[in-house]
Amino acid sequence: MKIGILGGGQLGRMLLQAGVNYIAETYVLENDENCPSAHLCNHFIKGNIQDFDTVYHFGKNLDAITIEIESVNVDALEILEAEGVRVYPSPAALRIIKNKIYQKQFYKQNEIPTADFSVTQSNSDLLNNHLYFLPAVHKLAEGGYDGKGVQILNDFKDLEKGFDQPSVLEKLVAIHKEIAIIIAMNDKGETAIYPAAEMIFDHRLNLLDYQISPALLPKELTWKIEAIARRIVKELKSPGIFAVELFIDKNNEVLVNEVAPRPHNSGHHTIEANYCSQYDMLWRILLQLPLGNTAAIQPSAIVNIVGADGHTGEAIYNGLPEVLQMGNAWVHLYGKTQTKSGRKMGHVTIMSNEYNELTHKAKKIKQLLQVTAS
């Protein structure tokens, strides 16, 4: 089969790495011929994934097409789907998910638990909502990623930090734990769900610092989280792979934060730590093969490798030999030659039956492995 990927970043790179185990001809569309995925596909096409004509012509002779980033031209994908190209996720689901306003309204319409919210179109709308909603989180409807396009508004003085564009004003949740769960659905509507992971964030960068999987949760909460994830994909009516990010608040209530309709940072550990990785699972869906085994081989942790503060330029990986000497640690570098503050440059997966060891090693790797610039 001819399989296309819109976007050539690290998610596409890891998807292509998993794809060598299957018989498929791979195509990547991306503006940068030096992107992480460019040298791993059979056919690289330089072009804009947001341009209608470029996406349409890229996809029209393919059997199936998927994404590794949401900011793609959905109009072109709708036409391709109508002409018989299989699109994962469906353009209808992508329209909902790529816009945070539509996404929140989808949760409300389908009685999926989420934080209370209001839609704002401009800064002036904030003034009409601040008394009830503050403290709150203001999120751009489209264009935000990795903590960008998100502002915490604690009080009236913070309102000037809000966005003067269509956005969601979301009541701030008293978070006890942040959880992510990966779920897959094939064309038959069959699902496979991975053990939940607990995410520990770097609140300075608003990026994942490290995570532990399977998350240490009571069975009742685990069942509730899995039921919510299944309900989301069933209501989206779209095959593909999805990452559902959730909050557990101080009262042990579960609230959906966001959904990503693609492989996700929170599922990187599945490459080593689960029998079927999230990337292998997506290939099974793309090629219409049976879903894989999502069980964990061993508990694991992920540490993000990000560019150090104040460093921009050619990347230098300080402490890499020391980390490579660690037992049960797997280093993944994303092939990015240029670094900048907070840029995702790679990740390290750690495996151990001892959760204390996972946490200890994760913190040690954070200290050892620093990406600076020459």
> How does pLDDT run across 311-337, given as a tens digit for each residue?
999 999 999 999 999 999 999 999 999
Instruction: Give residue-wise pLDDT tens across range 173-197.
Output: 999 999 999 999 999 999 999 999 9
Can you tell me the mean pLDDT for 101-114? Answer: 97
Do 195 and 215 touch, CB atoms closer than 8 A?
Answer: yes
User: Which of 126, 149, 171 marks a domain boundary?
Assistant: 171
* pLDDT reading at 207 higher than 70: no
Split at pLDDT 50, 70, 90, the class of 205 is low
Residue 194 sits in the same domain as residue 158:
no
* pLDDT reading at 18 higher than 80: yes
> Between residues 342 and 295, which one has the greater pLDDT?
295
Of 115, 51, 52, nearest in space to 257 by CA = 115
> What's the CATH code of the domain at 150?
3.30.1490.20
User: What stretch of H or E contains 44?
Assistant: strand 43-46
Residue 158 sits in the same domain as residue 19:
no
Residue 349 sits in the same domain as residue 210:
yes
* pLDDT reading at 24 higher than 80: yes
Instruction: Give residue-wise pLDDT tens across range 337-365.
Output: 999 998 999 999 999 999 999 999 999 99
Q: What's the confidence (pLDDT) of residue 156? A: 86
17 occurs within a structural domain: yes
Residue 233 sits in the same domain as residue 267:
yes
* pLDDT reading at 283 higher than 90: yes
Residue 145 sits in the same domain as residue 254:
no
* pLDDT reading at 247 higher than 90: yes
40 occurs within a structural domain: yes
321 occurs within a structural domain: yes
* pLDDT reading at 246 higher than 80: yes
Calculate the average pLDDT of the chain: 94
List, in order, residues 6 or more apart from 205 with CB less than 8 Å away: 147, 306, 342
By DSSP bridging, strand 300-306 and strand 207-213 are antiparallel
Residue 233 sits in the same domain as residue 324:
yes
Distance, in Å, from the CA atom of 75 to the CA atom of 202, rounded to the nearest integer, reads: 36
According to DSSP, residue 283 is labeled: H
Residue 181 sits in the same domain as residue 165:
no
Q: What's the confidence (pLDDT) of residue 116? A: 94
According to DSSP, residue 148 is labeled: B
Residue 309 sits in the same domain as residue 195:
yes
Residue 227 sits in the same domain as residue 185:
yes
334 occurs within a structural domain: yes
Residue 227 sits in the same domain as residue 309:
yes
Residue 189 sits in the same domain as residue 243:
yes
Q: What's the confidence (pLDDT) of residue 160? A: 86
Q: What's the confidence (pLDDT) of residue 200? A: 86
Tokens linked to 316: 């230098």
Domain of 130, in residue numbers = 116-171
94 occurs within a structural domain: no
Distance, in Å, from the CA atom of 183 to the CA atom of 176, rounded to the nearest integer, reads: 23
- 3-state SS string for 323-351: HHCCCCEEEEECCCCEECCCCEEEEEEEE
Of 155, 162, 160, nearest in space to 138 by CA = 162
List, in order, residues 6 or more apart from 258 with CB less than 8 Å away: 100, 103, 245
> What's the CATH code of the domain at 8?
3.40.50.20
User: Which of 88, 107, 131 marks a domain boundary?
Assistant: 88
99 occurs within a structural domain: no
Q: How many domains does the chain have?
A: 3
